[in-house]
Structure 1
Amino acid sequence: MTSPVFSRRSFQLGAAALAFSLLATGCGAPGSSGDNGQVTLRFAWWGNEYLNAQTQKVIAAFEASHPNIKIKAEPGEWASYWDKLATKTAANDAPDVIQMDQKYIAEYGGRGALMDLSKQSGIDTSKLDKEALASGQYGGAQYGLSTGQNAYVIMANTKVFDAAGIPLPDDRTWTWKDFTDTAAKISAAGGGKSYGAAYGSNEADLIIWLRQHGQDLYTGDGGLGFETATAASFWARLKDQRDSKASPPATVATEDAGAGLEESLFGTNRVAMAWWWTNQLGSLESTTGSSIKMLRAPSISGASAGNGMYYKPTMFWSASSRSKHPQQAAEFIDYLTNSPEAGGILMTDRGVPTNSAIVAGITPSLKPADTTVVGFLKDIAPDVKGAPPVPPVGAGSVQNVIKRYTDEVLYDRLTPQAAADAFKKEVEGMLASARK
Structure 2
Amino acid sequence: MTAHVIGRRGFLGLGAGLLAAATAGCGFGGADAGLRVAWYGGAPVHEALDAALAAFTAGHPDAQLAAERAAFGDYWDKLATQAAGGQAPDVFRMSMSYFTEYGQRGALLDLGEVAGSIRVGDLDPSVADSGTVDGRVLGIGQSTITHAGFVNRTQLEALGLEVPQRGWTWDELADLARSFTAAAGDGRYGTVDAGGIMQIFDVYARQHGTDLFTADGALAVGRDVIEEWFTFWDALRRDGVAPPADVTTESRTFETSTLVTGRAPIHFGWVQQATFYQPLMRDVLEVVAVPAGADRSPAGQFVTALDFWCVSSETGEAERAAQLIDFLLNDDRAIRAVGVTLGIPPSERARSLLGVDPASAAGKAIALVDAVSGQVGPSPAPWPRGYGELQETFQRLSDEIGFGQSDPARAAATFADEADRVLSS
Is residue 225 of structure 2 the alignment partner of residue 230 of structure 1? yes
Judging changes above 3 Å, is the alpha-carbon distance between structure 1 residues 262 and 117 closer, same or farther for their aligned structure 2 residues? same
Contact 1:19–1:107 (8 Å) recurs in 2:
no
User: Over the residues paired in the alignment, what is the CA RMSD in angstroms?
Assistant: 2.4
- Answer yes or no: is the 8 Å Cα contact 2:7–2:80 preserved in 1: no
Aligned partners of 2:329 and 2:335 also within 8 Å: yes
Q: CA deviation at 1:12?
A: 5.1
Which SS does the other structure have where 1:119 is aligned?
helix
Q: Are 1:398 and 2:393 matched, yes or no?
A: no
Correspondence for 2:120: 125
Matches within 5 A, 1:329-408: 329-363=321-355, 368-408=360-400
Superimposed CA distance per residue, residues 145-180 of structure 1 (whole angstroms, 9 cap, x where no aligned partner): 1111111111001122134332223332x2212111
1:402, 1:16 → 2: CA distance?
Answer: 18
When residues 216 and 17 of structure 1 are mapped into structure 2, their CA distance, relative to the original with a 3 A threshold, is farther
Which digits, 9 at most, give the CA deviation of each residue in 1:334-385, with x for residues without a partner? 1111212211211222223223333332236888332222222111234301
% same residue? 28
Q: What is the CA-CA distance between 1:16 and the residue it aligns to?
A: 5.8
Cα deviation for residue 422 of structure 1 reads 0.9
* Kept after mapping to 2: 8 A contact 1:181/1:246: no
Change over 3 Å in CA distance of 1:251–1:74 after alignment to 2: same
* 1:65-109 deviation digits (Å, cap 9, x = unpaired): 111112211111112221221112122221111101111111101
**What is the DSSP-based 3-state SS (H/G/I as helix, E as strand, rest coil) of the residue aligned with 2:251?**
helix
State the 1:299 CA deviation. Answer: 2.3
What is the aligned counterpart of 2:134 among 136, 139, 142? Answer: 139
Instruction: Report the AA paired with residue 272 of structure 2.
Output: N
Q: Which amino acid aligns with 1:162?
A: E
Change (3 A) 1:332 1:73: same
Q: Which residue of 2 aligns with 1:99?
A: 93
Q: Identify the match of residue 258 of structure 2 among 265, 283, 296.
A: 265
Query: Which region of structure 1 is more displaced relative to structure 2, 84-93 or 357-366?
Result: 357-366
Give 1:4-403 correspondences, 5 Å limit: 13=6, 19=12, 40-120=34-114, 121-172=116-167, 174-200=168-194, 201-257=196-252, 260-306=253-299, 308-363=300-355, 368-403=360-395
Q: Runs of 5+ in structure 1 lacking a partner?
A: 1-10, 24-28
Q: Is the 8 A contact 2:48 2:341 kept in 1?
A: no
Q: Is the 8 A contact 1:149 1:313 kept in 2?
A: yes
State the distance in 1 between where 2:140 and 2:374 align.
Answer: 24
The structure-2 alpha-carbon separation of the partners of 1:122 and 1:394, relative to structure 1 and needing over 3 Å to count, comes to same
> Amino acid of the residue matched to residue 348 of structure 1?
V
Which amino acid letter does the alignment assign opposite residue 322 of structure 2?
A: A
Distance in 2 (alpha carbons) for counterparts of 1:71 and 1:157 = 43
Query: Does 2:402 correspond to 1:410?
Result: yes
Give 1:80's aligned amino acid: D
- 1:292 CA displacement: 0.8
- Contact 1:212–1:299 under 8 Å retained in 2: yes
CA distance in 2, matches of 1:169, 1:372: 14
User: Any idea what SS the aligned residue of 2:247 has?
Assistant: helix
After superposition, the Cα gap between the structure-2 partners of 1:219 and 1:21, relative to the gap in structure 1 and judged at 3 Å, is farther
**Distance (whole Å) between structure 1 residues aligned to residue 39 and residue 378 of structure 2:** 27
Cα gap change, 1:367 to 1:17, in 2 (>3 Å)? farther
Q: How far 1:295 moved relative to its partner? A: 1.7
Please tell me the residue identity of whatever aligns with 2:150.
Answer: M
User: Matched residue pairs, number?
Assistant: 410
Change (3 A) 1:92 1:263: same
Q: CA deviation at 1:144?
A: 1.0
Instruction: State whether residues 13 and 396 of structure 1, in contact with CA within 8 Å, keep that contact through their aligned partners in structure 2.
Output: no
Which range moves more in the overlay, 266-275 or 158-167?
A: 158-167
C-alpha distance in 2 between matches for 1:315 and 1:367 = 26
Q: Could you tell me whether the CA contact under 8 Å between 1:17 and 1:394 is conserved in 2?
A: no
Q: Which residues of structure 2 form unaligned runs of 5+?
A: 17-23
Deviation at 1:43, TM superposition (A): 1.2
The equivalent of 2:19 in structure 1 is: none
**Distance change (3 Å), C-alpha of 1:127 and 1:330:** same
SS at the partner of 1:69? coil
Which segment is superposed worse, 160-169 or 380-389?
160-169
Letter matched to residue 270 of structure 1: R
1:430 Cα deviation (Å)?
Answer: 0.9
Q: Deviations over 1:227-274 (max 9, x none)?
A: 1111111111111121222211111111223xx322332112221000
**Amino acid paired to 1:375:** A
Query: 1:169, 1:354 → 2: CA distance?
Result: 26
Partner Cα separation in structure 1 for residue 178 and residue 241 of structure 2 = 4
Tell me the amino acid that sits aligned with residue 395 of structure 2.
Answer: K
Q: d(CA) in 1 for partners of 2:15 and 2:123? A: 31
Q: Is the 8 A contact 2:150 2:288 kept in 1?
A: yes
Task: State the SS of the aligned residue for 1:19.
Answer: helix
Task: Summarize the Cα distance change of 1:264–1:127 in structure 2 as closer, same or farther, 3 Å threshold.
Answer: closer
Change (3 A) 1:204 1:298: same
Deviation at 1:431, TM superposition (A): 1.4
Q: 1:373–1:155: structure 2 CA closer, same or farther, 3 Å change rule?
A: same
Find the aligned partners of 1:417 and 1:209 in 2 and give their Cα distance.
Answer: 17
Secondary structure of 1:214's aligned partner: coil
Residue equivalent to 1:26? none
